[in-house]
A and B are shown apart, each in its own frame.
Chain A
């Protein structure tokens, strides 16, 4: 039974591997950019004012996709919370983290958490200039939240605060998109703010603002996901 199943799996994967091999053997790398990439390469600087072409694509050209993606992430966090709700510890049950934190971790976390949060904010505010942006910055914010959870497992940071940050930034994101549709070229157009000097921090129109909102939203969603895992209690 087990052997038969493993044989079937190996045969199927061998077939898939042959398909991959033909893809690999027949792949000819492009010599130049294709049409859409060429458009982005030639027009990003003039149209959006962003140095980072990837950021311009995510926030402006494909902004609607990013809105959808953030929504998917929100749904995931909500479902994780729902699935784990049954095993949630009562509010006063403290100290069921991985291990009791030592003095070193508590003190170190007090020093490091503000710096980590600041670094996350730096990463998403500079998203239009350097590598990085809302998603990376949001993940860094969430790692600050992990450190807080590990240093003080009994303490709960407020669900209300996280969900408020999350819903306000989501709402502001959509509002900026609608303003773009009214005043500028279309939904989530970044030209509602002046494009500024190419390469300075206050440039690229609304991209830093939108990326900061995405960063806050992603950070809040990851944190609430982690918190749902943290708040489970032992089965009776």
Chain B
């Protein structure tokens, strides 16, 4: 069990830093929003490995769910209005 956890945490850490870099350096806003949602999603799995199931649930529902939805909503409003 313990043998598998550490490589898994390493993979998660690399994935999170990669998604964060994508969120910072990509050229389109919508990719950045989705990549930052991905950071939260990986973070919630990492919380599960850190023996914090409560925090993992909160991060998955709020951090990666509702936050991403809010961003996408505001972005779509802004895109529609700048097209006019």
Contact = CB atoms under 8 A, between A and B. Distances in A.
Nearest to A133: B54
A52 B52 CA distance: 11
Contacts, number: 50
B73 A230 contact: yes
Interface in B5-63: 53-54, 56-58, 61-62
Contacts of A135: 58, 62
A139 B73 contact: no
Given A139-B61, A139-B66, A131 B81 contact: no
Given A140-B61, A229-B74, A234 B66 contact: no
Given A146-B69, A230-B73, A131 B62 contact: no
Interface residues of B, number: 19
Contacts of B77: 229, 232
Given A131-B53, A229-B70, A230-B73, A139 B81 contact: no
Nearest to B62: A139
B54 A139 contact: no
A131 B55 CA distance: 9
A98 B66 contact: no
Nearest to B74: A229
B54 A54 contact: yes
A214 B43 CA distance: 25
A230 B76 CA distance: 11
Given A52-B54, A234-B84, A143 B61 contact: yes
A202 B77 CA distance: 46
Contacts of B57: 123, 131-132, 136
Q: How large is the interface on A (under 10, 10 to 19, 20 to 34, 35 or more residues)?
A: 20 to 34
Q: Is the interface of B mostly helix, strand, loop or mixed?
A: helix
Given A131-B54, A132-B57, A143 B73 contact: no
Contacts of B69: 143, 146, 226
A46 interface: no
Given A98-B76, A229-B70, A234-B81, A136 B61 contact: yes
B71 to A, nearest CB: 11
Nearest to A135: B58
Given A98-B73, A139-B62, A226-B66, 16 more contacts: A52-B54, A131-B56, A133-B54, A139-B58, A139-B65, A139-B66, A140-B61, A142-B66, A143-B61, A143-B65, A143-B66, A143-B69, A146-B69, A229-B70, A234-B84, A235-B81
20 contacts: A52-B54, A55-B54, A98-B76, A131-B56, A135-B62, A136-B54, A136-B61, A139-B65, A140-B61, A143-B61, A143-B69, A146-B69, A226-B66, A229-B70, A229-B73, A229-B74, A230-B73, A232-B77, A234-B81, A234-B84
